[in-house]
Amino acid sequence: MAHIDPRSVRIEFTSDPPRPGRPTDSPYGDGFAVPLMDRLFTASAEASIVGSPGEVTGPWTFGFIQMMWVQTWWAHYKGLQPEDGSVFINFARAERIAGSSTFPSVLRDTADHYTERLWINDTAAPGAIPGGHYIDVVPEGTPVPHAITPIVFGDRPVGILDYHVENDRTHRTNFIRETEMDYHFCTIFSARKPDGLYQHLAHFLWAVRWQGRFTNANFVQEFAGVVPEATGFTRSRVIAGPPGNVHVRSQIEQPQAENIVDISIRAFHEAKNPNSPCWHADRQRDHRFNVRG
């Protein structure tokens, strides 16, 4: 019976280690975007199907599936004057509430929320990732052995924040002073077999953390730079087979009404409500908040 030769399964990292990105104006309105990395993190994968002489097989589909969870995501705002107060928003807590899940919420990271789509890059614009071949389909009737056309993966996480919020206790504008985002991923090279079942061939873990500070002069926000000890990118080696973490493994193929991007957007808006448990305001500009957990 046709099967994947485990010796043929390879994942290669194809990009240089990324550096911290710089904030830019948000395309979604009055705010700013934080590309956590200055470039795409990319990889490629390949595998071969083998079997008996003269055997044909198909259909197979090969691609990358990605799971994501948010470890940390907060923003600290301060007024220009001491009496303007300060605000601390814990978006990671809002995400856990929005996802109705335990911390951290582990969900698929896909380009859309449709439950039948598992692949991370299946709706990416052509050319968005170098190589551009995100999924390889082996049609029915393909003779073995057969080497798939190598597929590519690429991701560059981006966070969205407001430049300023209104402090509901002082009714003054508070401006962004500091934010931290800590995103974790498990990226899995997988195959959908002719019987419709999935085989998870190999995977790797990666994480990106970004903590930056801002200044304000005459109502103009300026990026002061990242906090080096709290900013960086890490990845694991390639690990054969499916993820060992039971929470991640149990969610890979589960139907989900929303993906992590959907929940993050909803959490972002819900956390900015002064009645939210994720919103903390004080009348003192230099109040020390202790709500990052």
Q: Is residue 46 over pLDDT 70? A: yes
Digit-coded pLDDT (tens) for 49-98: 999 999 999 999 999 999 888 778 899 999 999 999 999 999 887 766 65
In a domain, 290, yes or no: no
Q: What are 247-251's contacts with CB under 8 Å, separation 24+?
A: 247/106, 248/67, 248/106, 248/186, 251/67, 251/106, 251/107, 251/108
Q: Is residue 179 over pLDDT 60? A: yes
**Tokens, residue 134:** 């995100």
**What pLDDT was estimated at residue 133?**
86
Q: Which domain holds residue 142?
A: 3-282
**Tokens, residue 174:** 């508070």
Lowest mean pLDDT segment, chosen from 121-130, 226-235, 242-251 = 121-130
**What pLDDT was estimated at residue 110?**
65
In a domain, 292, yes or no: no
In a domain, 287, yes or no: no
Please, which pLDDT band fits residue 142 given cuts at 50, 70 and 90? very high
Angle at 279 (CA atoms; ends 215, 75), nearest 5 degrees: 30
In a domain, 288, yes or no: no
**What pLDDT was estimated at residue 242?**
95
**What pLDDT was estimated at residue 97?**
61
- CA dist 60 and 137 (Å) reads 6
- Mean pLDDT, rounded, of the chain: 87
In a domain, 63, yes or no: yes
In a domain, 291, yes or no: no
pTM score, whole prediction? 0.89
Q: How many domains does the chain have?
A: 1
Please, which pLDDT band fits residue 105 given cuts at 50, 70 and 90? low
Lowest mean pLDDT segment, chosen from 10-14, 156-160, 265-269 = 265-269
- CA 199, distance to chain mean position in Å, is 23
Q: Is residue 202 over pLDDT 90? A: yes
Angle at 158 (CA atoms; ends 61, 21), nearest 5 degrees: 120
**What pLDDT was estimated at residue 123?**
59
- CA dist 276 and 84 (Å) reads 20
Amino acid of residue 27: P
In a domain, 190, yes or no: yes
In a domain, 259, yes or no: yes
